[in-house]
Amino acid sequence: MTELEILEKYEPVLRFAKSERFFPMAVEPYLEQCLIFPSGPHGVVEALLHLNEPLVARIGKLKSEQFFLRFINKPLNDSDVWVWWALLSAAGMVGGWFAANFAGIEAVLALSLLGALVIFMLASPIRLRIIPAALAVLFFVVAEVVPVWFFLHPSRYISVAVEYLILLPIYLIVLFYLSVRTMKFILDHLIPEAPGMVMDMLSQATEKIARESYFEYAKILEKDPKPVYYGRVLRETDAEANHWTILQYHFFYAFNDWRLAANGMNHHEGDWEMVAVYLKNDEPYAVLFSQHGAGNIEKWRTVRKAVDEHGNDTTHPVVYVALGSHANYSRPEVIRSPVMYKPGRLQQLLFWVDGFIHYLFLLLNPNQRARQIALRQFWTQGGNFLTEEMFASMRDETDHYVVTLPMEIASGDGHRIGLDGQNTREGILKSTSYIKRIMSDRQTTRPHVKEWRRVLLNPEPDWVQYKGLWGVKSMLSEESGPPGPKWDRPRKDQIGVQERKRWGRPLEWLAELENTVPNKK
């Protein structure tokens, strides 16, 4: 059996969540659109030596790890729009002067400022979801403050007694009501977006860039509609003379939009994931799954397999891909806590503050049911009071989550890639039960073809040797683009980069997961 044939025999079936926007793709179209930038002195020197070569041709010649790729290179703020805005505003003011003197200028100025606000909202890199909420809060604040002018300036038409004994109490009641509603709106729509907005800015992969990446990926799909995996076959012998065949399936995604898709942790261009099937003495032994730089293991006897058209189990493991993050799971799962992997300290702080503010609002809420939720959490959590685990479990009386925390949604209720068969027997969860309808119903573009295009990494293409990042380098390592399938992420305390354990020492990776993942020995 050839390497391509054995890879095809055990190739996985990938199940995605309903609103997933990015699917395994070929590397070359991504590289054709990318620009490469040096991130250190060695990178600058090498960049000058290979200045006039196409990126696809030179990427494998670069020896240094001091590089990063950038997929979205178009300016997000179109200067022509602002030029037209300035010209039209000036012309409008001139016309307003001739039409109505200063009153005309004031009217045109107001319209001009409104137009500038609209342009800013469309062009700004800040999270688009926060803009409508911010405008609504601004409206509430104006509605509360404007009447103050009325009470500070006595009216000739309303008596003082009517103004202060009737209108003022009514205004204070309305003011209190609007204040409570404004605070609730802030807690429901602004604060949950704040951690993500801060991380977007630091990651240089904002919601705006995530959307642009989706549109560019959709254009690539029109020309190359077939999903791709990069296969690799390794053969090794362990200390007990067992013969191992390791089948690696590497998947490349144009973007990781976990934060936008499921209130997740990070955003970054480029995303490398993999699934490996281990054969021991030619018999399937286990399937290993990449998850956030680490991994998980499932023994073959408990792995879910695709069912063929006759109702028989096949040799194709079913893999559930998490929404946005593309981490791989052996069964449909929804994990709702930032402890699913080791986040950065700033990420932990932001989401903890978000949960703490929501808890205080519940505790001080005039609604008795809300206060009971907060008090019940206080008495039942004990030593976990005000921890992320407490926030992750808080539900209201209708069993909905109270605090928005990151979620890993490997539901499998969306697009499916791989061997066709009796797909309804594979098991799914409904992602709409865990995220808002506006998120689960967002626009998606899926590959028109569901069958894999198989690319054998033997011999290795030049791009495998590229040691830099496959996305923009961020101030926070967790928010930077990933390294390629062969290399570990560059570390500050070492010179150069090391080969990934799962790439070069697959039996060590297997032993590590068997010893560290509970109940998987």
Q: For residue 5, is pLDDT > 90? A: yes
Compare 405 and 423 and report the one with higher pLDDT: 423
Instruction: Say which residue, 141 or 288, is predicted with more confidence.
Output: 288
Q: What is the pTM of this model?
A: 0.82
State the average pLDDT for the chain.
85
For residue 27, pLDDT over 70 is answered with yes
Percent share of the chain, pLDDT over 90: 41
Q: What is the per-residue pLDDT for 464?
A: 95
Angstrom distance (rounded) from CA 262 to CA 62 = 36
Region 65-71 average pLDDT: 92
Find the helix packing angle between 368-381 and 345-363, rounded to 10°.
130
State which H helix or E strand residue 38 sits in.
strand 35-38
322 or 55: whose pLDDT is higher?
322
Mean pLDDT in residue range 329-348: 75
Give residues with Cβ within 8 angstroms of 49, minimum separation 6.
none
Q: Give residue 78's pLDDT.
A: 55
Give the separation between CA 26 and CA 99, rounded to whole angstroms. Answer: 60
Which pLDDT value is given to residue 326? 96
> Which of 74-78, 155-159, 231-235, 435-439 shows the lowest per-residue confidence on average (mean pLDDT)?
74-78
Position 123 scores a pLDDT of 66
Q: Decide if pLDDT at 173 tops 70.
A: yes
* 420 or 57, which is more confident: 420
Closest CA to 211 of 262, 161, 269: 269
Percent of the chain topping pLDDT 70: 91
The predicted structure's pLDDT at residue 118: 75
Mean pLDDT value across residues 426-445: 86
pLDDT at 121 over 70: no
Q: How many CB atoms lie within 10 A of CB 512?
A: 16
Confidence of residue 350 (pLDDT cuts 50, 70, 90): confident
Q: Residue 520: is its pLDDT beyond 60? A: no
pLDDT greater at residue 115 or residue 189: 115
How far is Cα 37 from Cα 44, in angstroms, rounded to an integer? 8
Q: Residue 346 pLDDT > 70, yes or no? A: yes
Q: What is the pLDDT of residues 34-44, one digit of tens each?
A: 999 998 888 88
Q: How far is it between the farthest Cα atoms of the chain?
A: 102
The answer to whether the Cα torsion of 140, 142, 145, 151 is positive or negative is negative
Instruction: Specify the pLDDT at position 169.
Output: 85
> So what's the pLDDT on residue 275?
97
Give yes or no for residue 387 having a pLDDT over 80.
no
The radius of gyration of the chain from alpha carbons, rounded to an integer in Å, stands at 28
The b-or-e profile of 52-70 (16+ CB within 10 A means b, else e) is eeebbebbeebebbbbbbb
Kindly tell me if the per-residue pLDDT of 401 is higher than 80: no
pLDDT over threshold 70, residue 126:
no
- Residue 249: pLDDT band with limits 50, 70, 90: very high
Where exactly are the structural domains of the chain?
A: 3-70+206-336+408-516, 130-205, 341-393
| Spacing of C-alpha 84 from chain mean position | 35
Average pLDDT score over residue span 412-430: 91
pLDDT band at 45 (very low <50, low <70, confident <90, very high): confident
Q: How far apart are CA 72 and CA 322, in angstroms?
A: 23
Which has the minimum average pLDDT: 8-12, 95-99, 243-247?
Answer: 95-99
pLDDT, mean of residues 156-167? 74
Mean pLDDT on 265-287: 95
Candidate ranges 75-89, 119-133, 150-164, 475-489; pick with highest mean pLDDT: 475-489
Half-sphere exposure of 467 (CA within 13 A, CB side): 19
Per-residue CA distances from 246 to 7, 92, 249, 395, 508 (Å): 10, 70, 10, 44, 12
Q: Which of 95-104, 208-217, 492-501 has the lowest mean pLDDT?
A: 492-501
Res. 82: pLDDT tops 60: yes
With a CB cutoff of 8 Å and minimum separation 6, the contacts of 497 are 65, 467, 483, 487, 488, 489, 490, 491
Lowest mean pLDDT: which of 117-126, 184-193, 204-213, 353-362? 117-126
Q: Which token pair is 468?
A: 């830099």
Whether the Cβ atoms of residue 503 and residue 103 lie closer than 8 Å to each other = no
Q: Which long-range contacts (CB under 8 A, 24 or more apart) does 345-348 make?
A: 346/198, 346/199, 346/202, 346/476, 347/195, 347/199, 347/265, 347/266, 347/478, 348/388
More confident residue, 249 or 150: 249
Helices (H), 241-294: 258-262
Using pLDDT thresholds of 50, 70 and 90, give the confidence band for residue 290: very high
Q: Which two tokens stand for residue 226?
A: 């077939």
**pLDDT at 337 (0 to 100):** 65
Is the pLDDT reported for residue 344 higher than 80?
A: no
Q: Is the pLDDT of residue 248 over 80?
A: yes
Compute the distance between CA of residue 490 and CA of residue 39 in angstroms, rounded to an integer: 11
3-class DSSP assignment, residue 247: strand
Residue 77 predicted with pLDDT over 70: no
- 256, 267 contact by CB (below 8 A): yes
